Amino acid sequence: MIIKQSDVREAIARIPDGATVCVGGFGVPGTPFYLLQELVRHGAKDLTIVKNDANERGMGVDHLLKNGQVKKLIVTHIGLNANAIRMMNEAEIEVEFNPQGILAEKLRAAGAGLQGILTDVGIDTTLAEGKTIITYDGRQCIVEPPIKADFALIHAAIADQTGNVRYSATAQNFNPLMAMAADCVICEAEQVVEAGRLDADLIHTPSPFVDHVVEIAELSEEYNVIRR
Amino acid sequence: MIIKQSDVREAIARIPDGATVCVGGFGVPGTPFYLLQELVRHGAKDLTIVKNDANERGMGVDHLLKNGQVKKLIVTHIGLNANAIRMMNEAEIEVEFNPQGILAEKLRAAGAGLQGILTDVGIDTTLAEGKTIITYDGRQCIVEPPIKADFALIHAAIADQTGNVRYSATAQNFNPLMAMAADCVICEAEQVVEAGRLDADLIHTPSPFVDHVVEIAELSEEYNVIRR
Amino acid sequence: MSLDAKTRMLHRAAHELKDGMFINLGIGLPTQLVNYVDEGANVCLHSENGMSGVGPLVPYEKADRNLIDAGGGYVSRLAGSAFFDSALSFAMVRRGRLDLTVLGAFEVAMNGDLANWMIPGKFTPGIGGAIELAQKTPRVVILTTHQDKKGQSKIVRECSLPLTAKKCVNRIYTDMAVMDVLEDGLILKEIADGLSIEDVVKATAAPLQIADTIVHF
Amino acid sequence: MSLDAKTRMLHRAAHELKDGMFINLGIGLPTQLVNYVDEGANVCLHSENGMSGVGPLVPYEKADRNLIDAGGGYVSRLAGSAFFDSALSFAMVRRGRLDLTVLGAFEVAMNGDLANWMIPGKFTPGIGGAIELAQKTPRVVILTTHQDKKGQSKIVRECSLPLTAKKCVNRIYTDMAVMDVLEDGLILKEIADGLSIEDVVKATAAPLQIADTIVHF
C-alpha cells in the first residue's frame, strides 16, 4: 500500500496564493484547526475558502480573515462570526451564499466528476437570480455547477497511514464531500494508525481521496467544548 | 425510536403489479435472495427491475424472469445470464443499459431529490443517442434523469430494529443508493439487533432511508460461494 | 411574550410531533419543542449537520465536543441514532423523507410564503439549511411570536422580505393563536387563553377566516 | 496465442504498474497482471464494485462469499483496503483519481478510439463500467491478443464496432508488440522475441510508424 503520512509544514507549503481551499467543519466539530493554524503561518494570500460557516470570532477561519489571506468565502451561513459579517459589509471580502445541501451537492458533483446538477431548490427566490435555468422534464430547474477545489483541509478522528479516514459524530459533516472535490486533500487526524488497523468495512473516506495525512501534535483549545 | 421490524410476507405484499423495484447486489454479494424468493411467491407482474446485473441463470432475478414477472430491466450488464440475454433478444423483456457509475448516480440523484445530473460520460458514443444534450459552461453534456423507484429490496449484513444498516465487503455496491432512490425500502438482514447495538458512527444506510426490516430466516444456497 | 405564553405555545405546538414521525426542528424556539413531546410519541429527530436520533441538550460538563445540533447546542445521542455527511443529510430532506419541520419566521404570508433568512441591509448571515427544509418537507409548521419586538405582526398579507420558499407553510403556531393556511388564505383555529378573537384579529396584518369552533390553549 | 507469448506479454505489461499508482485492471487478461507486478512496486488496486486495495485471487475454500472483484473472482483484502458503494467507486473514476486502467479490446483504432463492449447482433451483454474507465482515466492501456480468433487484426484504421470511448487509448500491449498512440497515429516501439518488424506490420490493419530503436521483449 501507499504511505501518505506527511509533515504539517510540507503539506501546507503546497498551497499557493490564489488557491481555492475547502475547509471541513460545521461549527467546531470537523474543523481542521491545526492545519488552519499552519496555513496562517504559511501565509498564502488571495484564497477562496469554501466552508459551511466562518467559525466564530478568533477561531479557525477567522484567523485567515484577520490575517488578510481571504479574497472570497463560499459558505452557507456566517451568522456566528461578526468579524466576517463586517468584512462582507465593508467589501473587504466577497461572500457567496449557498443553500446548505446544495453546497454539499456542488462539492460532491465535482468529486463525482459530474458537469453539474439540476435542482429546483430556490427556484422561486432571489437565490435563483443570475443562475442558468432550464426546463427539463416539464419543470424549471436551476443548473448548479460543481465546486472543484485545489485543496481540501479535513479533520479526522482517526486515519491510517494510507489515508483511510474515520470521523466522529457530527464532525463528519462536509469533510467527506470536500475530500472528493479537491485535487489535493490534506487530512489532519487525532490519531494515525498503521494500515490494516481500521476495519475495511467501516471507512468514511477511502484512501484514494486522500493525498496527505498529518497527525495533530496536540489538540489546541479551539477543539474544546465552547461555553457561552 | 421507531421500530420497523416486519414479516417478510407483509413487507413484500405491498408491491403491486407494474411497480418499479430496485434490487441491490453486484453478482451474489448484496443480492436480497430471500426477498426475491418471496416476490416470486407473491407474484406481482409487469415489474420494472433496476439492478446492476441479472444475476446468473437460476439465481435471484432470474427467478422473476422465468416466472414472467418482469416487463423491463434497467441494468449495466447481463452477460452472466444467458436466459436474460435470450429474453432480450426475443423481445420478451425490454432492457435499458446504463454505464455502471451513471446508473449509480441516477439512483442517487433520485435519492437526493435532484431533478437530474449533467455528465459527459458516453457523449461521443451511441449511448448518447436519444438523450437530452445541452451546452453548459462551454461543454456538451448529457442530461441524465433520476431513477426514482417505488420499492427497493436491499441486503444487509446487520441492521437494527429502527432500520440502521451495515453491509459487508463488496456486498455494499448499489444497496445504499437504491435505499435512497425508493419510496419504500425493504431491507433483509442476516442479523437484526436492538436499537443502540450499532455504533452510530459506523452506519452505512441510516434509518430514515429504511421502511421495513426483515430478518432472513435461513441463508439459502444462493448466498454461498459459487464454484465454477 | 410572557414566559407563561411561551410555555403554553410550546406545549400546544408539541402535539405536532406525532408517533412515528421523522422531524427537523429549526434553530431557536423550535428546538425547544424536544422537551415538550407527548409521552409515548416515538419520534426521530433530524439535525441537518448530519444526525438522526437527536437526543436532549446536555450541560457543558457532559458535552461531547464532536456532537452538536445545527444550532450549535451540545446534544446527546439516543439508541438508534446515526451520523452521516451533509450531502446525505440533505438528501433526506430533498427526497421528502422528513414528515415534519418546525421553523421560525420573520414573516409568513396568508398564502403560505415564508421569509426567515434575510433582512436586506441589516441581517444577512446566510441561508443555511432553511430553504431546503421549507421547500421540500411535506408538512411545514411555523413556530414564532405573533409580533416582532416593535409590535409589528409577523403574519402578513404578502412578505416584504426575500422569500425562503413560496407557499410552503401549512400551519402557524404563535403565542396568540393557531392558524392554518388554506387555498384562499388563513383560518384562525385556536387562541391562547385569556385572549379574544378580536385581540388576535387586531394583532394580525392579514385577513383571518374564523373557524366554526375556536379552541383555547 | 501460445502460453509462452501470453506470459511474456503479461510480464512486459506489468511494468506499467508503477510504485504509488492507483489502478483499475479490467476483466479478463488485465486482471491477471496482479500476479506479475514488479517487486517493490506499492500499487493500490481498484475494483469498480466498491473496493480499494484489492488483494490476490483466492481459492474457493478461502473465499469470502461477500468479497468479489468486478469480474466475479473471489479476491482477498490487503492491509489498508476499503469498501464503498458504487457511486463513490465511480466518483473516483470520473474524478480522475485513478492513475491507470488496463482494459481489453475488440478493436483499437490508430487515433486511440476503443471498442470493447458490443458486437451488434451478436454480443450485447451491456456496458458495465468500461465506458467511464476508458473515458476518464488519465492513462488508458490496452492488453489484448494482436488478432482475434479468426486471425483478424484488432488494431485497425477505424473502429467498425460501437465505440466505448473516443481517443482514449495511450498504449497497446499485445502478444506481438507494444505500440503507442501518437497525435498522428501508432508507433511500434517493441516486438516480441522471435518476431520481425515485418511480421508485426503484416499482422496489423493500421499503418505503423517504426521507432528508431526497437526493443524486444
C-alpha grid cell, residue A119: 435542482
Beta-carbon separation of D89 and B101 below 8 A = yes
pLDDT score at D37: 86
Q: How many CB atoms lie within 10 A of CB D128?
A: 27
Residue B173: HSE in the Cβ half-sphere, 13 Å Cα cutoff: 30
Query: What number is the average pLDDT over the span A76-82?
Result: 95
Q: Is B161's pLDDT higher than 90?
A: yes
Q: pLDDT band for position A60 (50/70/90)?
A: very high
pLDDT score at D112: 98
Cross-chain CB nearest to B112 (options A105, A116, A167): A105
pLDDT score at C35: 85
Q: Is B176's pLDDT higher than 90?
A: yes
Q: Which chain C residues are Cβ-neighbours of B206 within 8 angstroms?
A: 52, 82, 84, 88, 92
Higher pLDDT, A70 or C4: A70
Query: What number is the average pLDDT over the span A70-75?
Result: 98
Q: Which of A106, A114, A119 to mutate to test the interface with B (most CBs of B within 10 A)?
A: A114
Closest chain D C-alpha to A207 CA, distance in angstroms:
8
pLDDT score at C34: 85
Closest chain C C-alpha to A40 CA, distance in angstroms:
24
Closest chain B C-alpha to D20 CA, distance in angstroms:
24
Q: pLDDT band for position B53 (50/70/90)?
A: very high
Residue A205: DSSP 8-state:
B
Q: Say whether the B–C interface has 3 or more Cβ pairs within 8 Å.
A: yes
Instruction: Check if C48 is active-site.
Output: yes
Cross-chain CB nearest to D97 (options A110, A114, A209): A209
Q: Give the integer Cα–Cα distance in Å for A55 and A29.
A: 10
Q: Give the integer Cα–Cα distance in Å for D33 and D31.
A: 5
- Among C36-45, D14-23, D146-155, D164-173, the least confident range: C36-45
Q: Are D94 and B101 in contact (CB under 8 A)?
A: yes
Q: Is D122's pLDDT higher than 80?
A: no
User: Radius of gyration of chain D from Cα atoms?
Assistant: 17
Higher pLDDT, B177 or D35: B177
Q: Is the ipTM of this complex over 0.95?
A: yes
pLDDT score at B148: 98
Q: Mean pLDDT across chain A, nearest whole number?
A: 97
Q: Is C122's pLDDT higher than 80?
A: no
Q: pLDDT band for position C38 (50/70/90)?
A: confident
Reduced to 3 states, what is the DSSP secondary structure of residue A84? helix
Closest chain D C-alpha to B107 CA, distance in angstroms:
9
B residues 153..182 contacting D (CB < 8 A): 157, 167-177
Full 3-state SS string of B9-52: HHHHHCCCCCCEEEECCCCCCCCCHHHHHHHHHHCCCCEEEECC
Residues 6+ apart with CB under 8 A from C82: B164, B200, B203, B206, B207, C51, C52, C53
Q: Give the integer Cα–Cα distance in Å for C114 and C172.
A: 11
Residue that is written with C-alpha cell 477561519 in the block: A61
Query: Phi then psi for C82, rounded to 5 degrees?
Result: -145, 145
Residues 6+ apart with CB under 8 A from D185: D110, D111, D206, D207, D208, D209
What proportion of chain B, given as a percentage, has pLDDT over 70?
100
Q: Give the integer Cα–Cα distance in Å for B182 and B148.
A: 6
In a domain, residue A134? The reply is: no
Q: Is D118's pLDDT higher than 90?
A: no
Q: Mean pLDDT across chain B, nearest whole number?
A: 97
pLDDT score at D178: 98
pLDDT digits (tens, 9 = 90+) for C125-180: 888 999 999 999 999 999 999 999 999 999 999 999 999 999 999 999 999 999 99
> What are the beta bridge partners of residue C153?
C147
Report if pTM > 0.95.
yes
pLDDT score at C47: 97
pLDDT score at C121: 76
Reduced to 3 states, what is the DSSP secondary structure of residue A202? coil
Residue that is written with C-alpha cell 393557531 in the block: C178
Give yes or no for D68 touching A (CB within 8 A): no
Q: Which of B50, B88, B170 to mutate to test the interface with D (most CBs of D within 10 A)?
A: B170
pLDDT score at C97: 98
Query: What number is the average pLDDT over the span A149-154?
Result: 98
Reduced to 3 states, what is the DSSP secondary structure of residue A79? coil
Beta-carbon separation of C131 and A108 below 8 A = no
Query: What number is the average pLDDT over the span B14-22?
Result: 98
Residue D68: DSSP 8-state:
B
Catalytic residue among C16, C48, C107, C190: C48
Q: Say whether the D–C interface has 3 or more Cβ pairs within 8 Å.
A: no
Q: How many domains does chain A have?
A: 1
Strand D208-216 relative to strand B149-156: parallel, antiparallel, unpaired?
Answer: unpaired
Cross-chain CB nearest to B136 (options A137, A143, A169): A143
pLDDT score at A39: 98
Q: Give the integer Cα–Cα distance in Å for C45 and C73.
A: 14
pLDDT digits (tens, 9 = 90+) for B124-160: 899 999 999 999 999 999 999 999 999 999 999 999 9
Give yes or no for C163 touching A (CB within 8 A): yes
Give yes or no for D11 touching A (CB within 8 A): no
pLDDT digits (tens, 9 = 90+) for A178-201: 999 999 999 999 999 999 999 999
Q: Which chain A residues are Cβ-neighbours of B173 within 8 angstroms?
A: none
Residue that is written with C-alpha cell 499503418 in the block: D207
Q: Give the integer Cα–Cα distance in Å for B35 and B74.
A: 19
pLDDT score at D39: 80
Q: Are C44 and C68 in contact (CB under 8 A)?
A: no
Residue that is written with C-alpha cell 471580502 in the block: A93
What proportion of chain C, given as a percentage, has pLDDT over 90?
85
With an 8 Å Cβ cutoff, the interface of chain B facing chain A consists of: 105, 109, 112-120, 132, 134, 136-137, 139, 141, 143, 145, 166-169, 200-202
Closest CA to A39 of A153, A184, A147: A153
pLDDT score at C100: 98
Q: Is C123's pLDDT higher than 80?
A: no
pLDDT score at C98: 98
Q: Give the integer Cα–Cα distance in Å for A23 and A181.
A: 11
In a domain, residue B66? The reply is: yes
Q: Which chain D residues are Cβ-neighbours of A180 within 8 angstroms?
A: 91, 95
Q: Is D123's pLDDT higher than 80?
A: no
Cross-chain CB nearest to A76 (options C74, C128, C162): C128
Q: pLDDT band for position B99 (50/70/90)?
A: very high
Query: What number is the average pLDDT over the span C82-108?
Result: 98
Give yes or no for D36 touching B (CB within 8 A): no
Higher pLDDT, B122 or D1: B122
Q: Are C161 and C127 in contact (CB under 8 A)?
A: no
Q: How far is CA A123 from CA A9, A140, C166, in A?
A: 44, 8, 9
Q: Give the integer Cα–Cα distance in Å for D128 and B99.
A: 6
Task: Give all strands of the β-sheet with D155-156 in edge-to-edge order.
Answer: D114-115, D107-109, D155-156
With an 8 Å Cβ cutoff, the interface of chain A facing chain B consists of: 105, 109, 112-120, 132, 134, 136-137, 139, 141, 143, 145, 166-169, 200-202
Closest chain B C-alpha to C55 CA, distance in angstroms:
11
Write out the residue range of the structural domain in which residue B29 sits: 8-114+146-217
In a domain, residue A228? The reply is: no
Q: Are D110 and D180 in contact (CB under 8 A)?
A: no
The percent of chain D in helix, strand and coil, each rounded to the nearest 5, is 20, 35, 45
pLDDT digits (tens, 9 = 90+) for A14-52: 999 999 999 999 999 999 999 999 999 999 999 999 999
pLDDT score at D2: 80
Q: Is C76's pLDDT higher than 90?
A: yes
> What are the beta bridge partners of residue C180?
C171, C187
pLDDT score at B214: 98
Beta-carbon separation of A201 and B105 below 8 A = no
pLDDT score at C175: 96
Catalytic residue among D48, D107, D132, D190: D48
CATH number at residue B165: 3.40.1080.10
Q: Are C69 and C128 in contact (CB under 8 A)?
A: no
Q: Is B173's pLDDT higher than 90?
A: yes
B residues 14..73 contacting D (CB < 8 A): 26-30, 52-53
Beta-carbon separation of C85 and A97 below 8 A = no
Reduced to 3 states, what is the DSSP secondary structure of residue D203? coil
Helix or strand (DSSP H, E) at B70: strand B70-75
pLDDT digits (tens, 9 = 90+) for D1-27: 787 889 999 999 999 999 999 999 998
DSSP state string for C132-193: HHHHH-SSEEEE--SB-TTS-BSEESS--SPPSBSS---EEE-SSEEEEEETTEEEEEEE-T
Q: Are D26 and D33 in contact (CB under 8 A)?
A: no
Q: Which chain C residues are Cβ-neighbours of B201 within 8 angstroms?
A: 83
Q: How many CB atoms lie within 10 A of CB C134?
A: 28
Closest chain D C-alpha to A148 CA, distance in angstroms:
10
Query: What number is the average pLDDT over the span D86-92?
Result: 98
Q: How far is CA A171 from CA A89, A95, A106, A184, B207, in A?
A: 30, 24, 20, 21, 19
Q: Which CATH superfamily is domain D3-44+96-216 in?
A: Glutaconate Coenzyme A-transferase (3.40.1080.10)
